[in-house]
Structure 1
Amino acid sequence: MASFTLHGIPVSRGIAIGRAHLLAPAALDVKHYLIPQEQVEAEVQRLQKAIATVHKELQTIWNDLPKDSPAELGAFIDVHALILSDPMIAEVPLDIIRTRFYNAEWALLTQIDELSAQFDEIEDAYLRERKSDIQQVGERVLKVLTGSANALPAGDGSEGAGRMIVVAHDISPADMLRFKDRAFGGFVTDLGGQNSHTAIVARSLDIPAVVGMYNASMLIRQDDWVIIDGDAGVVIVDPTPAVLEQYRERQARLLRERKKLGKLKKMPAVTKDGTEITLLANIELPEDCTAAMEAGAMGVGLFRSEYLFMGRAGFVNKLPSEDEQFESYRQAVAAMKGRPVTIRTLDIGADKPLDMAEQTSLNPALGLRAIRFCLAEPQMFLAQLRAILRASAYGPVKLLIPMLAHAFEIDQSLAMIEQAKAQLRDAGKKFDPLIPIGAMIEIPAAALTLPMFVKKMDFLSIGTNDLIQYTLAIDRADHEVAHLYNPLHPAVLYLLASTISIATKAGIPVAVCGEMAGDMKLTRLLLGMGLREFSMHPTQLLAVKHEILNSDLNEITPSVKKILRSFDPMAIAEAVNQLNQAGAV
């Protein structure tokens, strides 16, 4: 068979080489037939038994999680268990059997398809990706019903045999665990995006992966030799000996570079000219602090608190209580051992509905979300503020408010924080009365009216993901316009540079916590703008530190000033490339 190349979405870096192991989706084998009325209850019980079996499977997987597993794995298994318990999955298919006389598989698949269609209408990329969790749960139940559970090869991991490359239409985080100890080298899926749970787990496990390949599982055959280039989002099937050798050399070089980076963990992030840079970690759950500490993070620059709400509210209509939130925040503070933890208040709303059946607005990205949602739900917001304040009694905590754009939003937020403090004083509960309050700068209106923020806030954090999206008026999750998403657009660079400059002159600490902070190709550009605080996923930290250690601000700053005067996108891209090559090690 001739060699061919497939292109998808890169979600986890690195190179993997091995033999393909195909996972066939059970949904393809589902038979559709009507059942006699007298067999309806027996069919209902068959589906109930399958759901109970999957509950036991998930519990077993959760119990058997290795201690060194990424925190995300346990959380995502919990989400799948909650989905399985939700009436939309646990009860509606039973009603379909009783009213339409569908067989169990057909009834379940009908409901999964209906829910998937609802999620397709959600504009927010993260929430839209949750459709895959519902489909993965459905797939697991279907495999029990059809008796088509996947048998796994032993895989010895030897160089001659090649490591196993899993190729699937989709794969759940729980299923990824089954491959972890079987010479699992990487995976390729037809479905998925940057924000899918599978992608998040792949990054946590540091496994090369490419998703969103549409028909890879139809084109790749069992035991084909496969190369995954996780940096480029490329999969090469049946490579020629010359290409195989080329990628083996690249793989070996990457391993050597990674070992070198490991030596930087305890080294301070200081540029060649002696400027100290603060490197922080972005986390979703308290357990992520372990990876942050291991990578040498000087603190948490962004604790995305919405992950405590996700999956629970949407499926069981029960928000985490103040005490439950407090315990999660306290755990993170304790785990960071005196290093500061910045907790962002709930970034959720019309684009991230708290109820699966909730209607979304016509344009959720511009709707009732983040601080707008919190101010519209004052009791929920006050409960979160009290939980964050209580955690500040256990170590340094900073409170970050997302999506502020108006003066009255700043004033209302600060007033509610004071109200939460008063409630805690009345209850006799301890907190840090001088807790720093910060604002996310992620709307162009905020970046353009920064003096309003520096007067009232203790620190700023630039959310580049949304800032780019709103500045360029595109949804980067929309494939038709994703190519327009450009961090180096002159307007984006202007807003970034002016925000950093104004905040610095006002003596207000400013960080970048969006994807740009973890992209080492943009590290020198941000340094030249005057940025001194970067916050990123822990796996990106050492590569960014390496760039910082090899940068001289005396050389970089004049070059960046010149870049910021340019409005030619191609000239900017070329200048940034030259900036990175200057003095590269």
Structure 2
Amino acid sequence: MKAHSPAGQGPTGRAIQGLAVSRGVAIGRAVLVAAGRMEAVHRFVEPEQVQDELARLRGARDAVTLELQRLQAELPPDAPQELAALLEVHVLMLQDELLASGVRHWIIERLYNAEWALTTQLEVLSRQFDEMEDEYLRERKADLEQVVERMLRQLRGAAAPQPPAHAGEGTPLVLVAHDLGPADMLQFRRTPFVGFVTSAGGRTSHTAIVARSMDIPAVVGARAASQLVRQDDWIIVDGDAGLVIVDPAPEVLARYRDRQQQIAREREQLARLRHMPSVTRDGQAVELLANIEQPEDAAVAVRAGAVGVGLFRTEFLFMGRGGRLPDEEAQYRAYRAAVEGMQGLPLTIRTVDVGADKPLERGARDGTLNPALGLRAIRWSLAEPEMFRTQLRAILRAAAHGKVRMLFPMLAHLTEIRQAIAQVAQARAELDARGACHGPVQLGAMIEIPAAALMVRQFLAHFDFLSIGTNDLIQYALAIDRADEAVAELYDPLHPAVLRMVADVIAEGARAGKPVSVCGEMAGDPSLTRLLLGLGLRSFSMHPTQLQAVKREILQADAGLLVDWARQVLAADEPAACLALAPDGSAAAA
């Protein structure tokens, strides 16, 4: 992300481009938080000092664990549930054997002091994270760095950073930092911050997740912020455009204040839509579902007005365990908690989407040239049938407590389809053999590989429903790593080839009389809602915070009038140019 100044550094101020991760506009005085990364002292120790260094390391880990557990215990009732979950991730990382055993190795075998050993192992694990294909898991490197930073602080005997004081009582503040951990976010939320800007981070970083859950405008990945923003500068955080404006001109400030008022009015209007049925003007019912990542998120989805969960990612159960896979009972408890949190509404559980390129897997393979094309998702599950059936049994048991659907990721071959279904049958037979209670589940497949989209009829012959994972479908169809800045601008959900695949899958599902949903970022983008409606989509699954904006588009749309226009968009060489021409007397959202 580069800094740019559309109108120079004159009356319009300085503009910094980053990633939009939490919508809205924040205006306030900048509060800069210095990068907390400490330089580690590098020295060799004598063999007789090894045990002392190991003891220092254990002491630092235990102290940080107690610090995080205290923060968990002191969480206020109104704290976002995501915050508690992210603090737990940091506690688990402290206990991760990959981190602990690696640090011990550098101390015992190389005679490094504790600080040096800790930063060396951080570099080793950071390289593994950098090679991950999954964006969410790749972003967890920042969490590991934050955990190590806290341990280094303990080893140095330094105090934890505190929320900076500010003389202006009632002055809105915007926090500008290199990065923010969940514990930092908990401290800073007690102060009058109206927005966040970080130099590091991506759309799935914890800063982004917590900012969305707190409904605070945020821009991450604004790399020039630490150089261009000065303490106490007036800045504007445009969370819709991913833009930070430093020292804005009076007319720019006035324009954004007007936008703030408009956004406030729109949010009041959207809040009133929460429990309204999602029906188009011509009477077409549309299902609005939520994507969740933790069992606690189920209650958040229900409060947001979702009529179910279209995607429950189960990877959180497999992370930070030092290669130890979660057992059936632990998974069952997590899935049951999510089912019960849905209060009778349906929950779609996706089987684990990790693989041999992830350090959380036992015996992870080094040197994987193309992790995205390797042994991951359903391929890894089928290669580890005992692990797979452990998860399947836990899901089937949870299904005894509510409506559950099971979703398989990254299928591409009929042999994979048959094997996955056979594993479900075997898991059910194993539960029957031991007299364990279980419930019925519908089986579905993710359409996220072009091959799956092209053979959608065969998929529909075997599954009860389909879910289009547009994030990966776009990535694989266009050969684009959307996290790679060099090619990210080529990641295009409106590419004609992508739209044709999405349209074909929706149409084939309708012909077969089986439901098809979209659970990728396209589903939560209000500017694409009318197009997807025109293509026949009647089930959208997205982050809970996006539900009401998409519902507003649905309520204002006439689905029948959108069909011919959607066909024109589909046939166009430049589909994006047609978006503003949506019928119904109003343009599609920009």
TM-score (norm 1): 0.93
Partners of 2:561 and 2:583 within 8 A in 1: no
2:547 to 509, 517, 541: 541
Partners of 1:26 and 1:143 within 8 A in 2: no
Change (3 A) 1:227 1:90: same
CA distances 1:52-72 after superposition (whole Å, capped 9, x unpaired): 221111111111122333332
Letter in 2 for 1:426: A
- For the aligned residue pairs, the C-alpha RMSD in angstroms reads 2.3
Partners of 1:443 and 1:467 within 8 A in 2: yes
Q: How does 1:13-28 map to 2 (within 5 A)?
A: 13-28=23-38
Equivalents in 2 of 1:405, 1:41: separation in Å? 52
Letter in 1 for 2:420: S
Equivalents in 1 of 2:360, 2:50: separation in Å? 34
Counterpart of 2:66?
Answer: 56
1:347 to 337, 341, 353: 353
1:266 to 245, 256, 275: 275
Displacement of 1:257? 0.6
* Secondary structure of the corresponding residue to residue 296 of structure 2: helix
Equivalents in 2 of 1:221, 1:356: separation in Å? 46
Counterpart of 1:300?
Answer: 309
Counterpart of 2:135?
Answer: 125
Letter in 1 for 2:379: R
Displacement of 1:449? 1.0
Counterpart of 2:326?
Answer: 320
Counterpart of 1:358?
Answer: 364
Counterpart of 1:183?
Answer: 192
1:237 to 241, 246, 267: 246
Displacement of 1:104? 4.3
Equivalents in 2 of 1:222, 1:29: separation in Å? 24
Displacement of 1:466? 0.8
1:150 is aligned to 2:150: no
Gaps of 5+ in 2: 1-8
1:396 to 403, 406, 425: 403
Partners of 2:287 and 2:540 within 8 A in 1: yes
CA distances 1:470-489 after superposition (whole Å, capped 9, x unpaired): 11111111111111110000
CA distances 1:96-132 after superposition (whole Å, capped 9, x unpaired): 4566665544443333233223322333322221211
Partners of 1:27 and 1:109 within 8 A in 2: no
Counterpart of 1:137?
Answer: 147
Letter in 1 for 2:581: Q
* Secondary structure of the corresponding residue to residue 37 of structure 2: helix
CA distances 1:321-371 after superposition (whole Å, capped 9, x unpaired): 111111111111111111111111111113434248723521111111111
Q: How many residues align?
A: 576
Counterpart of 2:5?
Answer: none
Equivalents in 2 of 1:451, 1:511: separation in Å? 16
Partners of 2:162 and 2:187 within 8 A in 1: no
Counterpart of 2:417?
Answer: 410
Change (3 A) 1:383 1:156: farther
Equivalents in 1 of 2:488, 2:23: separation in Å? 20
Counterpart of 1:86?
Answer: 96
Q: How does 1:452-463 map to 2 (within 5 A)?
A: 452-463=458-469
Equivalents in 2 of 1:372, 1:29: separation in Å? 42
Partners of 2:129 and 2:359 within 8 A in 1: no
Letter in 1 for 2:446: M
Letter in 1 for 2:482: R
Q: How does 1:219-230 map to 2 (within 5 A)?
A: 219-230=228-239
Equivalents in 1 of 2:131, 2:313: separation in Å? 24
Equivalents in 1 of 2:538, 2:551: separation in Å? 12
Counterpart of 2:384?
Answer: 377
TM-score (norm 2): 0.92
Counterpart of 1:573?
Answer: 576
Partners of 1:124 and 1:351 within 8 A in 2: no
Counterpart of 2:519?
Answer: 513
1:286 to 284, 290, 295: 295
Change (3 A) 1:157 1:374: farther
Displacement of 1:26? 3.4
